[in-house]
Every structure is written in C-alpha cells, then in structure tokens.
A and B are shown apart, each in its own frame.
Chain A
Amino acid sequence: MRLRERTIELLNLGVVGMLTAIGFASVYIARSSEISAGSLSYAGFFLLLYAIAHVIARITVPHADPYLLPMAALLTAIGLTEIYRLGPTDAFRQGLWIVIAVAVFAFTLYVLRHDYRVLESYKYLFGLGAVFLLVLPALPGIGTTVNGARLWIHAGPIQFQPGELAKLALIVFLAGYLREKREVIAQLRLKDLGPLLVIWGAAMLVLVETNDIGMGVLYFGVALAMVYVATGRWLYIAIGFVMFVVGSAGVYEISAHVRARIEVWLNAYKYSNTYGYQIVQSRYSIGHGGFGGTGLGKGIFTAPGSTHTLIPYLNTDFIYSALAQELGLVGASALLLVYMVFAARGFRIALITDDGFSKLLAAGLTFTFALQAFIIVGGIVGLIPLTGITLPFVSYGGSSVVANFVLLAGLMLVSNRANADRVGT
C-alpha cells in the first residue's frame, strides 16, 4: 500500500520530535546545574507546534512534498537546541519567533491554497516591495547599524531585518518577469540586458549602502541563477560574474569594511587580534569538535566565569561553529546533508511542475535557501570571505525564521499543485 504524503510527513515529524527530545535531554543532563528540568517542556511544545503545522498542511496542501516540513522542523529544532544551550533567554525569544513563523506559514498556505499563481499578476508590486524593503534600513530614524552593517529596522520594541523578506519578494518578481520575457531575453539583444543591469545596480547599491555583503551576494546570485534557468544562456552568468567581480573590486576600494573582510579571508591569522578574531576563534571551535564533537552542552564557548562567548555572534552568524564543536564532523556533515536533501527536494518540485512561473518560483526559492547556507557556512570554513548572514532555520533571529517559513510555504504550495496534477485530482 502506498502511503499518502501527509502520513509520510507525520511519521517523519515523529522522528524529528524524538530527536528534539533527545537533544534537549542531552543539554539538560550536561548542564543540569545551570538550567531547570522545566526546559524539557521545550521539546513537548515543539512537537505540538509542528503537529499544528502538519494539520494545516493536511487541510490546505494535502499533496505537498512530505519531506520539506519535517526537514524544516529538524533544522529549527537543531537551531533551538543549540541556542538554548548557549543561552536559555534567547531560546525563549526564538521559540516565540518560531510560533509567529508557523502562524505566518499557516496564513500563507491558507490564503494561497487555491492558486498561488495569482501572485504573478502582482509581480511589479512585488518588485517595488522588494526595493522598498531594501531601502528601508537606510532611511534615517528607522534603520540601525549592527556589526558594521545597516540592515535593521526598529518599530517600537520589535527589531526586524527587512532584507530577509525582500529576497522573497524579489524571487516572486523575477519568476513573473522572466516567465513573461524569457524568449526575448534569450535572444541576447543588447537592450534586453537592461533589467540585468538594473538588478546588478540594485545589488551593488544595497551592498554599498548597507554594508551587507552577504545579502548583496545572495540577491545577485539568485537573480543570475534565475536568469540562467529562464534563458539557458551561460553568457548571462559569465557577464554577470564579470560585472560582479568588477563591482566588488570597486567596493573593495571604497569600503574599509569590505576590504577588511577580504584581507581576513586571505590571511586570518595575521589579523587574529583584530578583524580576524571572530573567524580564527570560530576555526578553533570547529577544530576542537574533531570527529565526534564534545557532545551537546559540553562544548567550550566561554572563559571560566565569563558570560561572554569567546566568539561574538555565536548564536546568529556563527551558530555553525558552535554546532560543529558540539556535534563534531559527524553532526556538522549530517546538518549539511539536510540542507542538501532539502535543496534536492526543492529542485525536484521545480522539475515536476509544469508551468514556467512555478518552475522559476520553486527553483529561485530553493537556490536562495542553498546559496544562503553556502554563503554563511562557506564564510565560516574559509571557502569565501565571511559575510554576516543567517543560517536558514538554524540561526537565532526572528526575521530569518519567518522568511524561511514563508519560503517553505511557497515550495509546499508549488509541490501541492504539481503533485495534485499528477495524481489527477
């Protein structure tokens, strides 16, 4: 008997629930003197939350891919466990953000349950929205600078990073725009390079304005990838890449922030007491984990008696270094494999769906997810210069979690439709 999608999803969520319980239990056992047994309720709460998400998926997208939600649950569980281990207060806030994110996820599924393709008609609205969101932090009065990058907005007590949502709006716009113009653009006429130039200019502007290199690279990479998918022209990627290198060289000249990042990437130890401190200490953290890791709750992140972590921004940008120390090569590789499988499932959706908008949407969303993981982890392990960006679903940070749940909702909507067409309902 063939299992129905949602049954498979439920079984997988059960496994994730068990893993979450084990994770929290290990943290509790290792650090029982610090934290109370009440913390174990996190696992129960977590299970309940995902049970609700599952029920909503069952109602709204019954045929959606059954592995995406459990993988997102697993990633948030790993992240929450580690954030909890690093500081229970942050974990409580992250827990709240996950609740909000699941609510937004449910809302997105519910609103778009009949046909998400209506989004295509609003593509220019999404494009403008993306620009608006990107410019927001640069406006005086609302924007705040954190760690050298201006990418936050303040609204009362709530801090939000609009760039995370802007990336989704941008993908919707590109999917709609490229679906319509792909034949024309593919002819490689000079005047059709216009939009590409606009995208490039915008990415560079964002890069310079906000000093947020990570997001800049992400937008640009995703835009290029989607143009390639739409047109099948390598030349666009080549031109785009050259333009990016030239642009980056220019930014390197004018931005001390960017220059420091690149010099640290080339020779971290030389700057180990200044800009390179974070990356060097993070490397030590990863190396200390070794093959098997220290075990959850037993890694070393602070000096004795100190509450400051040796690595700044440990639970956001650098959460991978913390996980790699406590879970070791085994755990870190497993984590990366989850990203890989998630990406594979996402691209599978793009392959099986039959209309251009859906294909571009699914491919764009999936590639964003994979590229974002690559940009931050690649920066930490030294493959590329380090840029502060969150690890999807795992890092501490509300905007990121909410945006990634919307991304998940998008992929599930596309796959629901594609699978429903295939079963013929």
Chain B
Amino acid sequence: MPMNRQITRLAVAAIVLIASLIVATTYWQTWAAGSLAARQDNALVRVAQFTVDRGRIYAGDGTFLLATNVKKKVGGQTYYFRTYPSGNLAPHVVGYSTQSRSRAGLESSQNDYLTGANGSLTSVTQRELNQLAGITVQGNDLLLALNVKAQRTAVQQLAGKCGAAVAIEPSTGRVLVLASSPTYNPNAVEKSFASITKAGTSACSFAAPLLDRATQGLYPPGSTFKVVTATAALDTNAFTPNSTFNDPGYCTEYGKQVSNAGNPDQTGPESFGNVTLAQGLQHSINSVFCNVGKKIGAGTILDYAKKFGFYAQPDVELPADAQTPSGLYQNHKLYDPRNPDAQVDPGRLAFGQERMLVTPLQMAMVAATVANDGVLMRPHLIDEVRAPNGNVVARVGPHVVRRVMSSQTAQEVKAMMISVMTGGTGTSDQIPGLQVAGKTGTAETGVNKHYDTWFIAFAPADAPKVAVAVALENQTGFGATTAGPIAKALLEAILR
C-alpha cells in the first residue's frame, strides 16, 4: 500500500527515540547515580540523610555522648536532626551535620559509617531492603579515643586565648586531646551560623572559631624545632650529646652574625662559652643549633622533618581539607626546595625560624615519636565503629608509620629533653613526683615582643603514656610561662 514504507520507517524512528530515553535514564540511575549523590549541591541526598537514624559519636569508652539525634516528624516523614550535648567541648573533632551548612569534622569524613552506607554487599542489600520495607536505616556509632577530662581541661585552659592543644598516646597514636581555641557551639551552626563566623576576640586578629588550629593552624615552631634538628644531628652520627661548641653569643652565617640575643627562651647568660650539644638544647642556645645546621645542612634537617611526618597529611580521620601539612611555606604554599642546601638558610632552620611553619598536631607527633623510642605511630581519633546491635564494624588499632630515628638517638634526645625540665628552660613547669621530658618554644612573629609560644612534652619520661603539644598565638610571655602551664595541666589531667 502507498506510504506504508514511510510509515514503517517513521515508526522505527519513533521507537528508537523512546528507546534512547530508556538508555539515558539507565545512565543516570545506574552509572552516574553515585557521582550525582556525591555532588555538594545535591540537596536531595542531604535531606535523604536526615531520614537515617545517624550513628552517635561517643568518647570515654562509649559513656560520654558527643553527638546524638533529635527525632522529629515533619510532613509525614521522620527526620533525625543532630544535636551535640557536649556543646563546645570538641567541635573541631566532631564537626557538624546540618541541612544549611552541610557537614564538617568526623561528621563529614565518617559520613558513610554514620549513615550506615559503608560496608559489604550484604549490609548494603539489607539497607536497601529496610528502605523498601520502610524500616529506618540506622547508622553506626563512633567511639573516640578522646579523654573527656583532659579535653575539658584543654578547653578551659585555652579559653580567652588563641591556640591549640594536642595530646597523643605515644605507643598507639590515639589522640587523647585535640582542642582549638576559640571554640564554638556546633548546635548554633544550623540556626545562627553568623554568630560563629562573626565572633571576635582580643586574643588574636582573626578569631575564626571554625578553624581547627590543632590541625590547620600554621605557626613558626621556634625552639621546639630543635628537637627535630637534634634528632638529625645525633641520628646521622654527625654529633653526639657531648659534642662541644663554643658559644660567643652568635653564630656566623653567610659572613653575618646570627645572634642569640632576642631568643627569649634562652636561660642563662647571653653567651655560654664552651657547651655541649645537650646543654645547647637544655638552655635553647641558638648559636649551637645554628652551627649544627651549618654542619649537617638544611637538606638533612628537612629529611628528618619529613620522617617525622612533615610535608604530608597527618592522616587523622578528619576530612582531608581540614589537615594541613607542616613544612617550609613560601607565598602561603608548601615549599619543598629541590636543592635545600642552596635554597634554605640551614642555621635559622635549625632553631625553627626560616620559613618553617608547623601545626600543633605535627609537634605533638614529634614529641610522641621521641617518647615511643623513635617510632612514629599514625595518630587516630577513632577507637571503634560499632553497629547499632553492638557489633564492632571496624577497630582502629596502632599503626606504625615508620621508625624515624634509632632507639639510641631517641634515648639521647629524651635525656636532653628531661634536662630541659630539671635545669633548663622548662624548670618552672616541673610536676612534683612526675618526670617530664619537654621543650619550650618562643617564635618571633614579626611584631616586636609578640610571640607564638610553644610547649611540647611527654611523661612519664621512663615509660611515656602521653605526649602533648600546646601552641598559643600572639603572646607577650615565653613558651615556658604561657604554653608550659597548659601542657602541665594536660599531663596532670591525663596521668593523675
């Protein structure tokens, strides 16, 4: 019949058009579904996650509640909104999960566990079946290593100041304290976010309470970096603790004098005359370390810094963008010189100036490594992930990153750090009946008489159970008198 050939072709065309719709829909619903769900502006998935009975976050062996849910029925649908009973205790660790601001902290990085989206084929299948059956999906709980008492001490001690405190269990890497000040109340994020971002303080120029100064705050390490330099000096066998130096009060670099004067950490006279390396650390003598640096070179110091974890993310369970690597910085960017011996001033680097910037977490890792006989453990915030029925879904155990120095070097550095507390710059921070190994730091900030101050320590010295690092911004006092007392309070809170 006329026209039938054309009609058949048109029919084929129409059927192909509709078939192409099925193909395209298949693409979006299978192939692309994952990447669509992962997109930041996907409001739908964000809302969907509030229908999940999100896992709780606990500290103190599951007895102390950091994050839990409030159940609300809205428009026939049950939603689980987040609430943080411990308020401003550890917002930089826990983070928040909100509709308006999305997520931060462990709430963000551990979202899969908390929403039960993790896991094997069977658990995912079970989840899908539950969803079809209308059963609320329950997330997994997180149990953190945080020591609630010490964390509270840190928050109290840091109040009114800008800075951070970190405590790590050296043998395991468990993070016992991770506090940043000023802190904020995560319950306020949803409704009055501006009250957090616009908060001000006289303690520092940018209060920025959301910034986790413990993992993202970059400060010049000052004399605490001498622990890294000393490790490099001893472990390369270039020096021994008894190597002698003559300190005229300065060290000569590039034909110019780098003076001890102005090192507020230094105890004793402006020039010490003949001293050993050990005494150099004890009294924090810049010229001694300047000479060490010149001898071993910036390259060797940076190599050891890298072994301690500099230039890499610490790999705690926080979101990757909330962890800043430590190292030399140039134009606000991490700077890894190709030929450090020519591009970096070794003398100033050796006592923690140059362009070196570090995070409090990194310096706690340095102290913990010395305490752990020279072995760096990966720091971790989470002890366990538990299913709603109590089964352990995942357990985070001790994880060796690497041996940074020989056992002998570790013992020698430890002995030098003990002498800091018994007769050096840290004497005022001694704890009666507890042997502490420590190192002070008071870094110049460019503003006269305003320092970033440091204290790193571990105790008990013979069998270390905790290593701490405290950093404070914009101080007029020195490391020993500003950061030292806070470190002391933390050690006491954990060990006593």
Contact = CB atoms under 8 A, between A and B. Distances in A.
Interface of A: 30-34, 225, 228-230, 232, 269, 272-273, 280-281, 283-292, 294-295, 298, 300, 302-305, 307, 310, 324, 328-329, 332-333, 336-337, 339-340, 343-344, 347, 350-351, 354, 356, 359-360, 363, 366-367, 370-371, 373-374, 377-378, 381-383
B30 interface: yes
A152 to B, nearest CB: 27
Given A228-B10, A381-B24, A290 B132 contact: no
Most B CB atoms within 10 A — which of A332, A337, A354?
Answer: A332
Given A336-B25, A350-B7, A290 B17 contact: no
Given A336-B22, A347-B7, A288 B45 contact: yes
Contact of A284 (B20, B45, B72, B76): B45
A344 B15 contact: yes
Contacts of A295: 131-132, 134
Contacts of B121: none
Interface string B308-327: 00000000000000000000
Contact of B7 (A280, A287, A298, A351): A351
A268 to B, nearest CB: 11
Interface in B1-59: 1-8, 10-11, 14-15, 17-22, 24-30, 32-33, 36-37, 39, 41-45, 47-48, 50-51
Contacts of B26: 329, 333
Given A286-B29, A288-B45, A370 B76 contact: no
A214 B7 CA distance: 24
B447 interface: no
B45 A294 contact: no
B276 interface: no
Given A283-B36, A336-B21, A229 B43 contact: no
B6 A232 contact: yes
Contacts of A366: 11, 14
A284 B36 contact: yes
Interface in B99-134: 99, 128, 131-132, 134
Interface in B123-165: 128, 131-132, 134
B contact face: mostly helix, strand, loop, or mixed: helix
Given A288-B37, A304-B99, A343-B14, A383 B21 contact: yes
Interface of B: 1-8, 10-11, 14-15, 17-22, 24-30, 32-33, 36-37, 39, 41-45, 47-48, 50-51, 72-77, 79, 99, 128, 131-132, 134
Contacts of A377: 21, 25
22 contacts: A229-B6, A280-B41, A281-B44, A284-B39, A284-B43, A287-B33, A303-B99, A304-B72, A304-B75, A304-B77, A307-B75, A324-B29, A329-B25, A333-B25, A343-B11, A351-B1, A351-B7, A359-B7, A370-B18, A374-B20, A377-B25, A381-B24
A305 B14 CA distance: 42
B455 to A, nearest CB: 47
Contacts of A284: 36-37, 39, 42-45
A57 B41 CA distance: 50
A54 to B, nearest CB: 27
A229 B37 contact: no
Given A288-B48, A333-B22, A347-B10, 18 more contacts: A34-B76, A225-B10, A283-B28, A284-B44, A287-B28, A289-B29, A290-B29, A298-B131, A303-B99, A304-B74, A310-B43, A344-B11, A347-B14, A363-B3, A370-B17, A378-B17, A378-B20, A383-B20
Contacts of B79: 304
Contacts of B75: 34, 302, 304-305, 307
Contact of A303 (B4, B41, B43): B43
